[in-house]
Structure 1
Amino acid sequence: MTAELVRGQNHPLTTSRLEIRVSVGDPVLVAAALAGPDGRVPGPGHVVHPGAPHMPGVAVTGQGIVVETDALPETVHRVSVLLALPPGGRGPGRFGATAAPFLALADGTGEEIAGFTVTGLDAETALVALELYRRQGAWRVRAVGQGYADGLPALFRDLGLDGHTALDGRAALGGFDALGSDAAAGLVPESEAAAGSPAADFVLAPPQPSPRRSGGGGRHAAPEERPEDRTGRQALAPVGPGEARVDYRHPGRHAAPPPPPPPPAASPAGDGAPPEPVAGDASGWTLEERLYNQVWGMFEDLARSVAAYRSAVGFAGSRLERELDAQLADPATRVGPAADAARAAARTKHDGLVDRARAVLDRDVAQLTAEADVVEHALPPAFARWDSPAWHGYQAPLETPLALRLGDLHLPERRGLRIPMLVRLPLERGLWADCGRATGSGTDRADPAELRRLAMDCAVAHAARLLAVHPVGDYGVHVIDPAGSAGAALAPLLECGALGRPPAAGAQGVAAVLTELTRRVDLVQMAVRSGAADALPPDVDTAEQLLIVNDFPHGFDDRAVNRLRYLADEGPSVGVHLMMVADREDARGFGPLLDPFWRSLLRITPVPDDHLADPWVHHAWTYEPSLAPAGSDVVRRVLWQVGQARRAYGL
């Protein structure tokens, strides 16, 4: 599976032979610089370029660079991939005027390992695109994307080719004139490079940033990419297309690609200003699908903008440290006015880089904030906050929505910008409202009783939303509350008649509910596999079912635990979904057998907690549950309308 890298992200390499293919829209020179453990290039003889295309372990080819890590000298700890535009007006003159460079890493068989699109470039004429580095005997790749407006001389100075070996770009690389025509090694246009590539389709259409974004973020991820738990597993995944109700897949999914979105409206502010945000400004067949894709585009944009900011700050810090170390290494320059001035200049340069990175982040976040304000007011009830006006005129829907809002996500750099966390319906994984002590940095709550109460309130709010966004009769709720401790939280569900029966209590009640739902799963599975859905017994309710389990494992014996695990594994595919309200530590008595059970659930918390990560750069995102505002009775009012509709249909 190809990893799509962003600035600052690293990725492990499991093969010794690497092919780095470069795709650009204009001729560009490709080279590699070999550095030692200190990150410095010893001399111009350690730069591989089309004028000197071979060194042990590295070769410049017609499509990029080939690296054999096993053949590299022991003194080489870092291989930097360099790109430069030709001087003298023989090209666009700056990377901002050409298509964003795309680099694909492939193993010896030609299978792609990772890709990196260098976005956010402007006046730069040379850049360090990628970096292969040795760490504890293993090799990794890091997406760098650091550009230099002063060209190759400034780039080489950062690599250590300065002082008595001061070189300009033409001398260090043997000169562009030595390369001959554009067909020479390292000067292959994108279309030619792609034609000879085993992954031509991917190279010809590299991910491009949204035209509405000019910073490090780009709206180009597939909608199927969703946040992961910080353990690395996918947390939010889509489900496939389907037509029949009994297979519990969304009837509105389309296999064909949607039509392209309309072009964004021109900005009234004039040239150079970002366009006014528009709700539904994304691809999709319906407004609901366009809003869904737009929300996830905003999520990706924020992830990539923050990744670019963190990468720039990290680069500025490492360069400052390197320059200060160089000052201290030479006794002749360690003290004195000249040394003080050099250190002050290095810190000024560091502060300038950080300030520019922060300005870019502020610009991107301001644009995303404006878009979020517009989009939030256009979201349908299934996507909206509980305080949204969309709930004021609520009516029972006629079809199941595309997705459901579980809460909001934000990053520490900009806590005020919150992105809705949407999950596809029907739920592919069960939910786990963790009432244990929160371990993330987003909360200081520690009272176990308070956390348990909040977790149950959170579960009821999610259940109310699920009931409200499904057509009448298409969703049912069951509750297991062995000790009866959740009576106050469950009152809204009981009052509206949303529960078909009172919460199951005691070991006998637990066994009865689990037996009924297990039988339903078995029968529906057999009917679906045999194509005989019409042959189901009349007492089998084919509507989707949600089972809320409170205070697990109280009231559960070994047999009940096995049935619960069976429902978690097999239930979602046939419309039986699980929502646990529990503390994992309470179930330790069952031993490690329950570990796969917890890992199969999507963990949500009743208080803010930073336990989720995106699949691109693995930021630690703070999750906040979707709850009604304090003192609001919106959940009760919506459930009362749901109950009225159910009674009108005789349910």
Structure 2
Amino acid sequence: MTAELVRGQNHLLPDTRLEIRVSAGTPVVAGAGLADEHGKVAGSEWVAHPGSPRLPGVEVSRQAAADHRLAVDLEALPAAVHRVTVLLALPAGTGGPGSFGAVAAPFVAVTGLDGTEIASYTITGLDTESAVVALELYRRQGVWKVRAVGQGYAGGLAAMLHDQGLDRAADLATAIQDAVARGVDRSVAAPPPRTADVDRLRHGAPLAPTAPPGPANAQPPQPPQPSEPARPPVGDQPSAGATPPANPAPSTGPARPAGPIDYTHPRRRTTAPPPPPPAAPPTSPGTPSAPVAGDATGWSMEERLYNQVWGMFEDLARATAAYRSAVDFAESRMDQELDRVLSDPRSRIGSAGDAARAAARAKCEELTARAREGLDRDLAQLAAESEVVEPALPVAFARWDNPVWHAYRVPMEIPMALRLGDLHLAESPELRIPMLIRLPLERGLWVDAGRRGSGAAGLLDEGRLRRLALDTAVAHAARLLAVYPPGDFTVHVIDPAGSAAAALAPLTESGVLAAPPATGPGGVATVLSRLTRRVDLVQMAVRGGAAADALPPDLDTAEQLLIVNDFPHGFDDRAVTQLRYLADEGPAVGVHLLMVADREDASAYGPVLDPLWRSLLRVTPVPDDHLADPWVGHAWTYEPPLVPPGSRILHDVLGRVADARRSWRR
């Protein structure tokens, strides 16, 4: 029976091999300090944290996450260790909540390796604290117990570490936050919501200086936690009971809109969507139903397919997490049984010892095989669903080799999401899940042209890798152009040395660019000044409650994408400052970056550009397992959406986009 602890209460631990599970509802940093009988941690080397996750007897997560599993082996701890303190802190500089009082109370549970819960503790009463000692495992008279602590620190991680007895607590806190920041650079997070004022500026609703709170301004839902059975809900929606609006009429020319402009998706709802269509009946009792494309909830088939893809992503994450947990348990149990054999001199050698070791390994293999059977069963079901869903995806969600692109027509409204590539895990490399991002973009993109940190990129020569990075950027830009109505999306290119002419040919030859690629310092300065001016003017219009017709007649109010090649070559300090400004302020008013760069090339600027890279979603031109999932701790392998070799589909699509833009301008 689980002991539900309150602050200060303790409970006997029946096992020495344990898991400590943390659920916080928001990404937190988890660590563990090894202390003596007085509760003092001897030095920073006795604190397990994301930058140094393993210590004798303790292992913690390598990144901030909403859910953690900390492994503890009390028998493997050094003899001088009498306490293991579990530490939680909110990551700094990530845009998340600044105190535990702004989030749900963290929940901590101590379990056995088989998942049986021994004791649990909900940390209540926190307010301005951004760090907390959750609980401690301590040894008294040879017996280990757990105590609920719940001591919070408004001074944050440094104050908490100082209270643990560390002399250089501030240095260690900085090192931990730096390690967390490196993990955030690699992670995919839900985008921030647009401000209500900018939302109304795009589609004609009256502007007000401020917007009252309510469903229309609600934060978009976060990705579901692994424990939640429901699939992810859809995004922002209008008031309850609203009738879905008709599709907007196509534009007839380049005339400026009479009313204000809105940058939000025009078809998001707040009322409950209709239920999914009924699934096909199972072929026989006990077998799963045949998969059906669009069996998730949603207002339209597009929305149902979007939610279904999210559900497939979630199901694969959970199935793989369960398999990895089962394998870890099997291996831990084998290690425990082998340790027991080796600790007894009578069974350490001879036939009895060999038999015990063979039995332990056989049991481990049996448990692993049983876990793999369950995973294979889940993978087979997901693969069957993927075979049904993939051909049914609309253009914005489809791969370039999907026949739907051959029937492409320029749309009259933007879709709710765009496919940015594919994702898969090491246990199932053949099962690809579409990586969909919501539109309009809330975060710029960075196509990494560097070779460091990627095994696949390291095998390519520098010239080949840079060309692949440019091809990836062109493919992303072409997709964005293809899913927007004529005149609603404008692309600019900065190519300081003019070295990307061959890769940019699909964009330049089709005529879809706003102007030829800018070259040289003068061209760089001109494009950045124009886009900076646009951001400034739209921001002022939003703050002043002005309508679109109050903006200068030469201002392009369409969504803007700036492709930057070979950064920072050709950029002076002023240009770098403008680029950072566009990365920070541009997305809220429809100006987005698509960087093609090697971060190491910009190392001369030091930490000045760190906020720039963090504001962008990093993608790679070759398959790479760099996308971290903070909800279950997976590292997803990302595959870019490159056009099949020899295919003309990208040129054909861009040609149709260019024709539609020319007709729209007439």
- TM-score category, normalised to shorter length: 0.5 to 0.7
Tell me if the contact between 1:511 and 1:560 (Cα under 8 Å) persists in the aligned partners.
Answer: yes
Tell me if the contact between 1:78 and 1:131 (Cα under 8 Å) persists in the aligned partners.
Answer: no
Q: How does 1:2-401 map to 2 (within 5 A)?
A: 17=7, 33-36=13-16, 111-114=104-107, 128-129=116-117, 231=185, 234-237=188-191, 239=193, 242=199, 244-245=202-203, 246-268=261-283, 270-401=284-415
Tell me if the contact between 1:282 and 1:293 (Cα under 8 Å) persists in the aligned partners.
Answer: yes
360 and 454 in structure 1: CA distance in 2 versus 1, 3 angstrom threshold: same
Shift of 1:232: 6.7
Match of 1:52 in 2: none
Match of 1:595 in 2: 610
Match of 1:612 in 2: 627
Tell me if the contact between 1:324 and 1:346 (Cα under 8 Å) persists in the aligned partners.
Answer: yes
User: Which amino acid in structure 2 is aligned with residue 549 of structure 1?
Assistant: V
Q: Between 387-396 and 252-261, report the one with greater CA deviation.
A: 252-261
2:639 to 600, 624, 630: 624
In the alignment, does 2:557 pair up with 1:564?
Answer: no
User: Which amino acid in structure 2 is aligned with residue 650 of structure 1?
Assistant: R
User: Which amino acid in structure 2 is aligned with residue 473 of structure 1?
Assistant: G
1:501, 1:546 → 2: CA distance?
12
Match of 2:149 in 1: none
TM-align CA RMSD: 3.3
User: Which amino acid in structure 2 is aligned with residue 414 of structure 1?
Assistant: S
109 and 491 in structure 1: CA distance in 2 versus 1, 3 angstrom threshold: closer
User: Which amino acid in structure 2 is aligned with residue 570 of structure 1?
Assistant: E
Match of 1:417 in 2: 431
Shift of 1:602: 0.4
1:309, 1:524 → 2: CA distance?
50
Deviations 1:591-619 (A, max 9, x none): 22111111111001111111101231121
1:574 to 586, 589, 595: 589
Match of 1:584 in 2: 599
2:652, 2:546 → 1: CA distance?
40
Shift of 1:262: 3.6
1:234, 1:127 → 2: CA distance?
29
571 and 434 in structure 1: CA distance in 2 versus 1, 3 angstrom threshold: same
Deviations 1:539-564 (A, max 9, x none): 11111111001111111111111111
Match of 1:26 in 2: none
Tell me if the contact between 1:35 and 1:77 (Cα under 8 Å) persists in the aligned partners.
Answer: no
Tell me if the contact between 2:323 and 2:375 (Cα under 8 Å) persists in the aligned partners.
Answer: yes
1:415, 1:334 → 2: CA distance?
41
Shift of 1:351: 0.9
Q: How does 1:469-508 map to 2 (within 5 A)?
A: 469-508=483-522
Match of 1:88 in 2: none
18 and 291 in structure 1: CA distance in 2 versus 1, 3 angstrom threshold: farther
1:631, 1:618 → 2: CA distance?
38
Shift of 1:271: 1.1
Structure 2 gap ranges (5+): 20-80, 87-99, 122-131, 138-142, 144-181, 204-260
1:621, 1:628 → 2: CA distance?
21
Shift of 1:111: 5.0
Tell me if the contact between 2:347 and 2:353 (Cα under 8 Å) persists in the aligned partners.
Answer: yes
Tell me if the contact between 2:496 and 2:570 (Cα under 8 Å) persists in the aligned partners.
Answer: yes
595 and 298 in structure 1: CA distance in 2 versus 1, 3 angstrom threshold: same
User: Which amino acid in structure 1 is aligned with residue 116 of structure 2?
Assistant: V
Match of 1:71 in 2: none
- Secondary structure (helix, strand or coil) at the match of 1:635 reads helix
In the alignment, does 2:558 pair up with 1:543?
Answer: yes
User: Which amino acid in structure 2 is aligned with residue 17 of structure 1?
Assistant: R
1:140, 1:611 → 2: CA distance?
32
1:449 to 453, 463, 483: 463
- Secondary structure (helix, strand or coil) at the match of 1:392 reads helix
Shift of 1:129: 3.5
Shift of 1:650: 2.2
1:450, 1:540 → 2: CA distance?
38
Tell me if the contact between 1:409 and 1:623 (Cα under 8 Å) persists in the aligned partners.
Answer: yes
Shift of 1:110: 11
Tell me if the contact between 1:236 and 1:423 (Cα under 8 Å) persists in the aligned partners.
Answer: no
Tell me if the contact between 2:620 and 2:639 (Cα under 8 Å) persists in the aligned partners.
Answer: yes
- Secondary structure (helix, strand or coil) at the match of 1:35 reads coil
Shift of 1:32: 7.0
User: Which amino acid in structure 2 is aligned with residue 607 of structure 1?
Assistant: V
1:636 to 629, 646, 651: 651
Deviations 1:343-364 (A, max 9, x none): 2221111111000000000000
Tell me if the contact between 1:230 and 1:611 (Cα under 8 Å) persists in the aligned partners.
Answer: no
TM-score in terms of structure 1 length: 0.67
Shift of 1:258: 2.2
1:329, 1:500 → 2: CA distance?
75
2:661, 2:12 → 1: CA distance?
69
1:286, 1:343 → 2: CA distance?
58
77 and 335 in structure 1: CA distance in 2 versus 1, 3 angstrom threshold: farther
Shift of 1:444: 4.7
User: Which amino acid in structure 2 is aligned with residue 312 of structure 1?
Assistant: A
Tell me if the contact between 1:380 and 1:390 (Cα under 8 Å) persists in the aligned partners.
Answer: yes
Shift of 1:267: 1.2
In the alignment, does 2:445 pair up with 1:431?
Answer: yes
1:388, 1:140 → 2: CA distance?
53
Match of 1:9 in 2: none
1:420, 1:438 → 2: CA distance?
26
2:116, 2:500 → 1: CA distance?
58
Deviations 1:323-381 (A, max 9, x none): 01101111122223333222222111111100000000000001111111111101111
2:518, 2:333 → 1: CA distance?
63
Shift of 1:247: 3.3
User: Which amino acid in structure 1 is aligned with residue 462 of structure 2?
Assistant: P
1:396, 1:318 → 2: CA distance?
56
2:641, 2:264 → 1: CA distance?
24
Shift of 1:114: 3.8
User: Which amino acid in structure 2 is aligned with residue 35 of structure 1?
Assistant: D
Tell me if the contact between 2:623 and 2:640 (Cα under 8 Å) persists in the aligned partners.
Answer: yes
Shift of 1:131: 7.1
411 and 627 in structure 1: CA distance in 2 versus 1, 3 angstrom threshold: same
Q: Between 414-423 and 330-339, report the one with greater CA deviation.
A: 330-339
Tell me if the contact between 2:622 and 2:639 (Cα under 8 Å) persists in the aligned partners.
Answer: yes
User: Which amino acid in structure 2 is aligned with residue 403 of structure 1?
Assistant: A
Tell me if the contact between 1:230 and 1:620 (Cα under 8 Å) persists in the aligned partners.
Answer: no
Tell me if the contact between 1:410 and 1:416 (Cα under 8 Å) persists in the aligned partners.
Answer: yes
Tell me if the contact between 2:507 and 2:654 (Cα under 8 Å) persists in the aligned partners.
Answer: yes
1:18, 1:463 → 2: CA distance?
57
- Secondary structure (helix, strand or coil) at the match of 1:422 reads strand
Shift of 1:490: 1.0
Tell me if the contact between 2:107 and 2:120 (Cα under 8 Å) persists in the aligned partners.
Answer: no
User: Which amino acid in structure 2 is aligned with residue 553 of structure 1?
Assistant: P
Shift of 1:251: 1.1
292 and 141 in structure 1: CA distance in 2 versus 1, 3 angstrom threshold: farther
